[in-house]
Structures are given as C-alpha cells and as structure tokens.
Structure 1
Amino acid sequence: MRVAIAGGTSATLGSSIVSALLATDGRYTPVILSRETTISKKQSLAQNGVEVRYVDYHSQTSLVAALKGIDTVISVLLIPGPEWVTVQLNLLHAAEAAGCRRFAPSEFALTSSAQSMVDILDAKNKVWEVVQTSVNQHRIDAARFPCGMFMNYLGIGCPDSGRRKDALAGFQEGPFLIHFENPESPWVEVPLRSDQTFSRLTMTDIRDIGRFIVAALDITEPWAGRELGMVGDTLSFEDLISICQKYVERPIEIRPLTESALQTKLLTIPQSEFIARMECQLAIVCARDMSVVPPTLNELSSVQPTTVAEYMRHYWGPERYQG
C-alpha cells in the first residue's frame, strides 16, 4: 500500500512518518511529494527505498499525476501565510480526483476548539471544514491528528551535545514556555487556570508521531472524519517541572502567567508579529486547560509512546553518557 507524504522531506514530521512506514517491512510504502527538484536529495532518499515525486501544489494536473496509485495522503506541509489553505485544499481535491482512499490534512497540533483561539492555527480548521464535507459526501475518508506540544522542546539545552541532535529529532524552533537553553538559569512560564492552579498540557515526541500514523493506517474501519488524537504524556506543569528538576542541575525558576496578563500582553503585539501572537495565544489556550489532547489513537492501538520522565531520563540523565 503506497502512502504519499506531502512535505515528507522535512527533518521532523516527514522523517518520523517515512521512517515508521519503512519499518513496516513493506506493508506500507512511502512516497514523498516534494516541491524540491534537487537531484542529490532524491538520490539519497532513493537509496533508502523511498520514491520522491516532484509536485507543483498549484497545479491540479501535477498533483493528480503524482497521486496515481496512492492509497493514503498524509500532509505535514508547513507553508506560512494564506497560501497554506489553498495548497491543502488543492491536495485534497487532487486526492479525490486520483481516487485515493484516505486523506489527512496537516494538523499535528491541538484540538479544533483550541486551534480556533490561535490566529495562525485557525487556518487548519478552515481546511478541516472542507475535508469534512468531502467525507460526508463520500468522496474520501479522512481524519485529523492532534498531538499537543512536541516533547522535543525539552531537548533544547540538552547538556550532552552528542545526544542533543537525537533529542531534538530535527526540531529547530526556539524555546516556548520551557526555557532550558541556558543551563545556568533554567525557567518555565506556567499559564495559570482561573483558580490559580497550574494548567495541564499534552506532549508527544516527534518520533512517536510516525508510529501513531502507522497505527492509524492499520485501522480497518473508516476514519470517518474523526479526530484521532495521539498522546505521549499529559501532565500538569507542576508534574512537568518536578520531573525536569531531577535532571536539570540548577533550580528551575517558575514564572506564573495569568490569563488576564496574557490577554493584556496580546493587545500590545502587532498583527504582523504572528509568531509572537501565536505564542501568547497558545499560552492562553494552556491557561484555559485546553492544551490537552484526548488519547483516542492511543486507545485504538498498541503504541507505547515516550513519556516525559522517559525522555528526560534518556536525554538529560546519566544514561546519556553511556552512548
């Protein structure tokens, strides 16, 4: 069964899903859709048994041709700006025209209700509305895959440079809420709920996302437009800090954030600074305890994902010195 991964050359989600598909011993064959035409990259992937098909995401002819013989399309595309919605919908309609059975838009964030509170993520909901129409009209089967916050944020500042690359799993973003990048002064911003208690959040290791996608492909009944949430670990900031403190060699400073303070801050951030607005809005989501993803796919599969305690022990604890 051929599975197309749009954006499959990415070092994070693309790599995770392609690696997990290759580990199925031929049950699933990854086919990467790529806008890049670099021959060396294609040759490198081909040596690992991965076919790369060049696509123009603004050409229906190109997309339909590239999706010939594909059973399922998984998108992990990251395209800034309004073009993202257009490209996702072009991919969806090409999958329908090519006769693909299943489709998953680029999600891998929060639940739909939480994403509606974040300007840049609300675009995902707009795409999902169109996808659900296709499902309801029986043009294609589909699911969305929320996963919470990448656990790999915890790898930023990992003290063993030899293990840091593995800890990050291709992740190159800067810190958010959890600030361990300076080993001398680690600190965590903690969004507080309305009763002033610590909020909760779901975290998932990027590598486990590929394994969860394989588990979703193994589901024999239709995805039926469901939200198939995957969870590495769901815990309170209090528990998160307690676990991290065992491995971070300096006292972790706690900087509480009330929703009121966050809302005031949001008013000062210009619309053009979309990353800063996104981070502030995501902190508000946490303060409302909406950064928790239901473990739907966990319950439908046998995947045993990495927990925060396991992640910290492996990348920050004594084990990291044992090769």
Structure 2
Amino acid sequence: MVKVAVAGGSGQVSREIVDALLAAEKHEITILSRSEAPTNPIAPGIRWQKVDYDDKNSLVETLRGTHTLLSFVQMLSDPDQKSQKNLIDAAIAAGVKRFAPSDYGSKDIVDMPWWCGKEIIREYLRKVNEKEKVLEYTSFQPGLVLDYLAYPYKTSKYLDPLQTVFDLANRRAMVVEDYEDAVITFTTVSDLAAIIARAVDYEGKWPKTGGIRGNRITFSQIVDIGRKIRGSISVTKVKVEDLEAGDLKSSWGLQAVHHAVADDQARALLKQVAIGFLLSSSKGAWDVSDDFNQIFPDSEFTSIEDFLAGVWEGKP
C-alpha cells in the first residue's frame, strides 16, 4: 500500500482513475482540489484536501508521506502552468517518489497551441532532473480517448461525450487529403484507468514517456469501420495548405466543446481544435509509443471495432 495524491481529482478523467485505484483496494488516496469537499463523499476512505496551488509551503506539508502524485490540474486557464510547476516543486521538497503531469493525450503537441502547457511542463520536468534525478515521472499518453467516438452517447461513468472529426452520429468524417494513412492511437478511458492503476503498483522504474496503445489505426481504417457499422460515411477531404492557413474548408464543424471551455471562447476554439487535430495527425502526433504495453504485456485493450459496434447497435 502507498499513499496516492490526485491533484484535480474531481475532474472527469481523474474520477475514472480514482475509481480504478479504489477497486484495487491497495492504496490510501487523497484528492487535492481548489474546491471544498463535496457534501456527499466521493467514496468511503478517500481523503479530500482543499489546496492553494500558489502556496508552495502548504503544498509541501500536504504532500508529505505521498508516494505517487497524479496531476489532472486544468491547464487552459493557466498559460504559464504556475500551478503545476508549484506542485512539482512541492513534490520534490516533500519527498514524493513518482509524478505524472496533466498530459493524457498525444505524443506531440505540434499544431495544438491549446495544449502548449503540456510541453512547458515536460520541459520543466526535464530541467528539474537535469543534474540528478530528483523526481521519477512519466507522461501517460493514450492518444485520443476512444469513448469520444461514441458521441453523443455516454460510455463511461464520468466522461462526457465530445465530438471529433469522426462524427459517426451524422455518418461523416474529415480527413486530410493525401494523409488517409495517418495513424491515430485510441484508448478507452477505462483501459487508460486500468493501466494507470497498474503503473501505481509497478515496482520498476517508470518510463519518462508513458505511451499506451489501445488501438493503433489509420484514418482510412476508421472510415472503413464506420461504414461497416453505420452503413455509410461521408468523407470531407481537406488540404494541408488550407489548414496551415487557418482555413477549414468543410461543410460542417465541431459543435460540442470541452466542459472546461467558456461559452464565449467555444466557437473559435472548436475550429482551432479541428484544424489542429487534423494537422497534428498528419505529422504523427497521435501515433504514441507502446511503453506501458511492453511493461504490462498481458494487458487487454478494448478493440475499436468491438467498441463502436456495441455503441451503435440499434442506434438511428
């Protein structure tokens, strides 16, 4: 048994991970949050600690005795990533052994400026460990959450549906012309949670890049699966040069935005997200490594075809 702290532990993805840790019945779990503890406890045995990420000294005291710190700190509202930097500094001062930053996505952040904070934190972790290793860390990278391809249907306990360029509900998709074979990794949030729970128990050294390959698949293969399951998929092909110019030449666009984004920012960000996802995919950003697949070779992952067939069976 070890003490695990989950920063930003009341969020949607983090709640999925907390449930997986609880199911293991091995660890003492503390949720760190800017908010007061909810009236109804999340689960028996979980400790809730309200924190101020600007108060490093308080963070150090809160983290004393913690073995593993998982961060799900919201990045969009903190462009300089001060909160996570303070959290890292406090973890080092408190003697925390392991840290996972708020990453949980693509391998690279090229053409995805809304995620520039991820690279800031990756570089900060490299810097603090430059002279000697003071904090073991990994960036869990499962690619895109497969559950999003079920939009508008909810397939997990906490994670809300999110629209992507693969809009199976309306039988349509966007693909970059000449990059139909660009690779994307998809992993269900439940499979991600299972790997993280195992990683917490793992006694070996964490890899700095923690790739998790649930499904490694191309755009054209996704379209083929979509057609098999949904009957037809209309494909809009967009050109790299248009995307590079900030122009999304498509008859449709994304409409469902992440819950953390303010309404007045949504329209511009949705266009930016579609362009960024398509461009970054063409440059290999979503073709993540298989580090944790190798560490846990017996792990089983939900196949994209089985998942989508189950979601869309009987749906209009």
TM-score range, shorter chain: 0.7 to 0.9
Matched ranges for 1:22-171 at <5 A? 22-26=22-26, 28-40=27-39, 43-45=40-42, 47-83=43-79, 85-111=81-107, 114-136=108-130, 137-157=132-152, 164-165=153-154, 167-171=155-159
Tell whether the 8 Å contact from 1:169 to 1:206 is kept in structure 2 after alignment: no
User: 1:220 aligns to what?
Assistant: 203
Q: CA deviation at 1:267?
A: 9.7
Tell whether the 8 Å contact from 2:85 to 2:121 is kept in structure 1 after alignment: yes
Over the residues paired in the alignment, what is the CA RMSD in angstroms? 2.4
Name the aligned partner's letter for residue 236 of structure 1: T
Tell whether the 8 Å contact from 1:21 to 1:29 is kept in structure 2 after alignment: no
Matched ranges for 1:232-311 at <5 A? 232-248=214-230, 250-266=231-247, 273-301=268-296, 302-311=298-307
Residues 52/83 of structure 1: CA separation in 2 closer, same or farther (3 Å cut): farther
Name the aligned partner's letter for residue 183 of structure 2: R
SS at match of 1:246: helix
Q: CA deviation at 1:305?
A: 1.7
- Distance in 2 between residues matched to 1:65 and 1:170, nearest whole Å: 30
Q: CA deviation at 1:30?
A: 2.2
**Residue from 161, 165, 178 that aligns with 1:177:** 165
Structure 2 regions of 5+ residues with no counterpart?
Answer: 250-264
* Residues 185-229 of structure 1: CA deviation (Å, up to 9, x unaligned): 420111234xx54322111111111111122223323226x1010
TM-score (norm 1): 0.84
Structure 1 regions of 5+ residues with no counterpart?
Answer: 158-163
Q: Give % identity.
A: 22
Tell whether the 8 Å contact from 1:108 to 1:146 is kept in structure 2 after alignment: yes
SS at match of 2:280: helix
Which stretch has the larger CA shift, 30-39 or 94-103?
30-39
Name the aligned partner's letter for residue 295 of structure 1: D
Tell whether the 8 Å contact from 1:262 to 1:280 is kept in structure 2 after alignment: yes
User: 1:160 aligns to what?
Assistant: none
- Distance in 2 between residues matched to 1:103 and 1:289, nearest whole Å: 26
Name the aligned partner's letter for residue 24 of structure 1: A
Q: CA deviation at 1:148?
A: 0.9
* Residues 16-39 of structure 1: CA deviation (Å, up to 9, x unaligned): 21011112122x332111111144
* Residues 259-301 of structure 1: CA deviation (Å, up to 9, x unaligned): 1221123599x9x934432331221011223321111111111
Name the aligned partner's letter for residue 133 of structure 1: K
Residues 20/283 of structure 1: CA separation in 2 closer, same or farther (3 Å cut): same
Q: CA deviation at 1:173?
A: 5.6
Name the aligned partner's letter for residue 55 of structure 1: V
Tell whether the 8 Å contact from 1:266 to 1:281 is kept in structure 2 after alignment: no
Higher helix share: 1
SS at match of 1:223: coil
User: 2:11 aligns to what?
Assistant: 10
* Residues 107-138 of structure 1: CA deviation (Å, up to 9, x unaligned): 11111xx2143212222111111112233422
User: 1:161 aligns to what?
Assistant: none
